[in-house]
Structure 1
Amino acid sequence: MRGRLVTAAGALAMALTPGAAWAAHGSGGQESGSYGAEVSVSQGDPRPDERVPGYEMVSLPNENVPNFQRRTVYCPHGKKALGGGAEAHGATAILLGSFPTDDGTGWIGLGRQTATDNVGMSVFVICANV
């Protein structure tokens, strides 16, 4: 690949039991904000947002939520999720799930802490016009 270095975020969609992605667009605790991807490219390679129409990352910053409560972030209207991820924050935090919504328009993160009844969760989704 002649010195090409691309650092990008991605995630593996996990298959869970039926109905696992029950989070609805109207449920509480959902916020969104966008930020540009940090990508290292060399020799004139185009950035991902120049190669993929409508490329955008949307994130929910870290917030404490009760253990096992899902946090969901959605793509802007008309865009679909290409991937995403989640992080559980805390000394005894465990990430239990990171997967797309059933309709493919967002990403869900789920976690818990073993020592407390709440966990810090941050979630992001990579969106594009597809």
Structure 2
Amino acid sequence: MEWQITMQRFVDILTDSGFKAEKEPFLQFFRACEIAMFDSDTKLLYEKDMITERDYYNIINTARKTGISAGMERGLQKGLQQGLQRGMESGLKKGREEEKVSIARAMKAKGISSQMIAELTGIPEDEIADL
């Protein structure tokens, strides 16, 4: 208990002389001195409050991490769905184009004019000539 009184005197001397504790280490030191001077009942209340505050912080921190994780998972799922949708659309489009080319080849093999094939398939005449 004597060291607490000594520390309090030291703090009082510094404060009375105009010392301003603006840096975090000094502020922490002064807070520690104040806490050390608490009577047992006040100290018990303080410790309960600190436990409550730490519990609250941990709950918030856990909720934040859970929220971030859930958000990332939803984002990943949405991204995968969009990618799959785009891939399917791209594949269908490519399949339709390949089918048009296949039909154009068959029409060309049957002697149908390039102009008629272009009109029916939508493939430009210069591309039909290359088939």
Q: How high is the TM-score relative to the length of structure 1?
A: 0.20
- Higher strand fraction (1 or 2): 1
Q: Which structure: larger Rg?
A: 2
Higher relative contact order (CA 8 A, sep 6+): 1
- Higher helix fraction (1 or 2): 2
